[in-house]
Structure 1
Amino acid sequence: MARGHEKIPVARIGKTVGLRGDLRLNLLSDFPEQFKKGAVFMSDRGDLTIESYNPARGTVRFEGVGDIDAAKRLTNAYLYTTKEAGEKACHLGEGEYFWYQIIGLEVFDGDKRLGRVKEIERLAGTDYLVVDTDAALVQKGAAKSFLIPYIDRYIDRVDLEAGRLSTKGAEAILDAS
C-alpha cells in the first residue's frame, strides 16, 4: 500500500444490542465525529457504511444489516480507515497528534535516550506510551519496556520532524519499572 493508504484501526465492533441490528462500537480513536451517517470504513468483513451512530449509547447500525443475525456476523470485527481519510475527517488542534504519528518516535529524558514508542494503550481514560527500552539501558539492568502516561507532567515536547518525543521525569519511571 502507498504511504497514507495504510489501514489504521479506529473501532472494534462489539456485541449486538436489541433485535434490529444495532451493535456496540468500541472506539479506538479520539475522533467520534468520523462515525457519521454515510461514512464508509474498511473491515475484514468487507466495507461497512454507517446508517446511524449513537455516541450516547455507544451503538452503531450499518447499512444492509437490519436484523440481529446479520449483526452477529460483524461482532469482533475491526473498522479501519486510511491515514489520508483519517486526517481529512479529523481535525487536530495545536499540540494534538494521531497515535500513528507518536508510535515509532524516539523517547528522550533530557539528552538521555530511553527508547522508542512501540504502541499506545488506553487504560482508565489515560493514554500510556509503551516504550521499548534502549538496548544499552536494558544491558545495564533496566526493564525491557515501560509505560509513560501521556500527560503534561511527563510529556515535554513532540517533534515529528526530528522523530523525537522529549519527556520530563520519564527516566524515574523507567528506574522504578
Structure 2
Amino acid sequence: MKSERFFIAQVGKTVGLRGDLKFHLHTDFPQQFKPGTTVESSRGPLTIESYDPRRNLIHFRGYDSPEKSRELTNAKIYSDEERTRELCPLGEGEHYWFEILGSSLYEGEELLGNVREIQRMMDTDYLLVDTSDALKKAGMPGSFLLPYIPRYILSFDPVEKKLIARDAREILEAS
C-alpha cells in the first residue's frame, strides 16, 4: 500500500529562453531533485533534466521553451513516506515531519495535546498543538504553538508517537 503523499515544492514562473522555471522548495532535502529523477506533480510525472539550487531553477525534460514550460507554472511537487525515507536519510536524533504529525505531547505525565501541523517561521519549526480535551475543559486555549527546539522538546519516540516537553504548559497558559 502506497503511503499518503505530501507537498515538497512548487514550480514558479519561467526564466530565460530555454524553459527553465523558478523552483520553490518546501522541504529540507534538495538532494532529491537530481537530474534523471522523476517526481510526482499536480500535472503528472515530470523528469528533472537539471536543477540549480543556488539559483532556485529547475528544468524538466520535454519542456524546452518558455511557452511549453508555462504549462507547469504553479504545479505542486509531491513525495510520500517511502520515497522520502529512500532519498533523504536522516542523522542521529533527526525525525521527518510526517513522523511527528499526530504525535501526543506530554509534559511529565500530563497530556497537553496532539500535534496537528508543523509551521516553519524563519529558521524555526513550530508545532501547532491541539490542546487535550481535559485542559480545554479547564479553560485552556484550544491550540497553541510550541517551538521545536531543545529548550522545549526533550525527546521524541517515533514508535510511540510521543513527544516529551518541558515548559510547554507555560506557553499553553500564556496563549
TM-score range, shorter chain: over 0.9
* Pairing of 1:110-129 with structure 2 (within 5 A): 110-129=108-127
1:69 aligned onto 2:78: no
Q: Which moved more, 1:88-97 or 1:61-70?
A: 61-70
Structure 2 counterpart of 1:127, which letter?
D
Structure 2 counterpart of 1:165, which letter?
L
* Pairing of 1:88-127 with structure 2 (within 5 A): 88-127=86-125
In structure 2, what is the equivalent of residue 22 of structure 1? 20
In structure 1, what is the equivalent of residue 168 of structure 2? 170
Secondary structure of 1:36's partner?
A: coil
Q: Give the distance between the partners of 2:15 and 2:136, measured in 1 at CA.
A: 47
Secondary structure of 2:86's partner?
A: helix
Shift of 1:74: 1.4
Match of 1:85 among 83, 88, 111: 83
Shift of 1:15: 2.3
Q: Give the distance between the partners of 1:143 and 1:161, measured in 2 at CA.
A: 28
Q: Give the distance between the partners of 1:55 and 1:44, measured in 2 at CA.
A: 21
Q: Which moved more, 1:122-131 or 1:135-144?
A: 135-144
RMSD (CA atoms): 1.3
Structure 1 counterpart of 2:6, which letter?
I
Equivalent pair of 2:38/2:47 in contact (CA under 8 Å)? yes
Gaps of at least 5 residues in structure 2 are none
Q: Which moved more, 1:96-105 or 1:133-142?
A: 133-142
In structure 2, what is the equivalent of residue 143 of structure 1? 141
Structure 1 counterpart of 2:35, which letter?
K
Q: Which moved more, 1:13-22 or 1:99-108?
A: 13-22
In structure 2, what is the equivalent of residue 54 of structure 1? 52
Secondary structure of 1:73's partner?
A: helix
Structure 2 counterpart of 1:108, which letter?
Y
Secondary structure of 2:31's partner?
A: helix
Shift of 1:139: 2.0
Shift of 1:70: 2.0
Structure 1 counterpart of 2:19, which letter?
G
Shift of 1:12: 1.5
Alignment TM-score, normalising by the size of structure 2: 0.94
Identical amino acids, percent of aligned pairs: 46
Equivalent pair of 2:11/2:73 in contact (CA under 8 Å)? yes
Match of 2:128 among 106, 119, 130: 130
Equivalent pair of 2:99/2:161 in contact (CA under 8 Å)? no
Where has structure 1 moved over 3 Å in runs of 4 or more? none
Aligned length: 175
Q: Give the distance between the partners of 1:80 and 1:45, measured in 2 at CA.
A: 11
